[in-house]
Amino acid sequence: MARPRKRDYETLRRELIDAGGRLLAEAGPAALSTRRVAQETGTSTTAVYSLFGDKAGLVREMFLEGFDRLTAAFAAVPRTGDPLADLLALGDAYQANARANPHLYELMFGRPVPEFQPDAEVAERIRPTFDALVEACGRCIDAGVFADLGAYPIAVQLNAMAHGLCSLELRGALGDRAEADAHWRRAFDSLVKGLSV
């Protein structure tokens, strides 16, 4: 197979990652194979191997792509003079990204492929998403919106709550989208009240 043009390369890479994510989410790790991913995208296993090396490389890139999309979602949130509104907008971006990429979400935050363990290089690449949350919490403390309990511990609490709510929503446990949004707002309102000065 000839090397695709740059645009085609990126399109094919994304299609393979999304197909792998859907197979993993819908049928579990046993269904995830280079052959199945190639079939799902109408390409050859050679293309999968040339882009990712092997199945382990594909899983690694699926994981990183999930965080790349989350990083892009966070980067699209404008920074304003209202640090609390900015922090809540990051939460909304997190939720929207989970909804847009449910097929990658479990791989990002769970361990559906037990043999995949993020190494130090991968951990370094995904760290900016959490750093953005810590920085936003620090701005709320500096502005006197939150009590100074430390930006990192507050970020851990917010992250845990957002992750829990998104995980439940993606599993259908929070009702329809309107009900899930209502749960999200109530939970964040309560936590913000508890953190307020």
| pLDDT tens digits for range 25-51 | 999 999 999 999 999 999 999 999 999
Q: Residues 37, 46: contact at Cβ < 8 Å?
A: no
What is the per-residue pLDDT across 122-168, written as a single tens digit (0 to 9) for each?
999 999 999 999 999 999 999 999 999 999 999 999 999 999 999 99
Amino acid at 104: L
23, 25, 59, 112, 145 from 29: Cα distances, Å: 8, 8, 10, 7, 44
| Complete domains list, the chain, with CATH | 1-53 (1.10.10), 56-195 (1.10.357.10)
Burial of residue 168, with CB atoms counted within 10 A of its CB: 0-12 exposed, 13-18 middle, 19 or more buried: middle
What is the per-residue pLDDT across 46-66, written as a single tens digit (0 to 9) for each?
999 999 999 999 999 999 999
Backbone angles phi, psi at 146, to 5 degrees: -110, 150
What is the per-residue pLDDT across 74-85, written as a single tens digit (0 to 9) for each?
999 999 999 999
Question: What pLDDT is stored for residue 197 in this prediction?
Answer: 76
For the chain, first and last CA: distance in Å?
62
